[in-house]
Amino acid sequence: MSSVDAPPDSPAEAAEPEAPRDAVREALLGRLTEELGSEIVGSHIRVGDDLWVRVTRDAWPSVADIVSRKMKFRFFDFLSGLDWLPSPFGRDMDSQEDITVHGTLPKELPPMASGYAGGDTRFQVFARVYSLTDHIGITFKADLPDDDLSVGTWSTVYAGANWHERECWEMYGFSFNGHPHLKHLYLPGGFEGNPLRKDFPLLARRVKPWPGIIDVEPMPGVADEEGGE
């Protein structure tokens, strides 16, 4: 499994020496490295935009603590999961019209590859926090091994994580140690399976195949250009 990104502890730098740098985010990353040390196993900075940090699974609860108490990122944005397995069902849209417009899919599925800040496993839990005073956000990720999809809870630090972790539990099957009550949020009581996993089929497409694009709307700009008012 390839990782998209540079080895840990070095912020993203381009080959040319005049590439723009994001001082604020690099400082944040530096501060996090101070606090967490070797628990940070990957990071990525998109200049002027966002910071991604990947930590070990065991450090996940302490990340919440550090970031909210010591670094003033007290606003909880969201928490969810990522499943990097390419979907065995493909695009589920292979009616004739789609093939004409978009072309056919390759026969083999691409290899599984993680996103920013790297990743070694199929499942990752990720969360985002935000600082209301500095107006900057950090996205955290953590790998979860396939045989033990459990991780510590953030709900003791961020109260809003409670519902997000419940949703993650029912959609992906992650269990959050220390969560007050992991019970279904969206899905009915006896639901079996974890819908957001890639190997869980989209039942709507199983039941009725995609009929294809009915109307193809011409792109503006391709048709005659009309001036504005």
Enumerate binding residues for other proteins (CB under 8 A): 4, 46, 49-50, 52, 68, 74-78, 80, 82-83, 86-87, 89, 91-93, 101-102, 110, 113, 115-116, 128, 132, 135, 137, 139, 157-160, 162-164, 171, 184-188, 190, 192, 195-196, 202, 204-205, 210, 219-222, 225-229
Q: How far apart are CA 191 and CA 45, in angstroms?
A: 39
If the CB atoms of residues 61 and 115 are measured against other proteins, the closer one turns out to be: 115
Nearer to other proteins, 17 or 227 (CB): 227
Work out how close the CB of 188 gets to other proteins at its nearest, in angstroms, rounded to a whole number.
8
Smallest gap from Cβ 152 to other proteins, in A, equals: 17
Q: Which is nearer to other proteins, 27 or 101 (CB)?
A: 101
Contacts 24+ apart (CB under 8 A), 84-88: 84/1, 84/112, 84/113, 84/114, 84/115, 84/119, 84/121, 84/122, 84/123, 84/124, 85/112, 85/122, 85/197, 85/198, 85/199, 86/110, 86/111, 86/112, 86/198, 87/198, 87/199, 88/198, 88/199
CB of 224 to other proteins, least distance (A): 11
Minimum Å gap between C-beta 57 and other proteins is: 20
CB of 147 vs other proteins, minimal distance in Å: 22
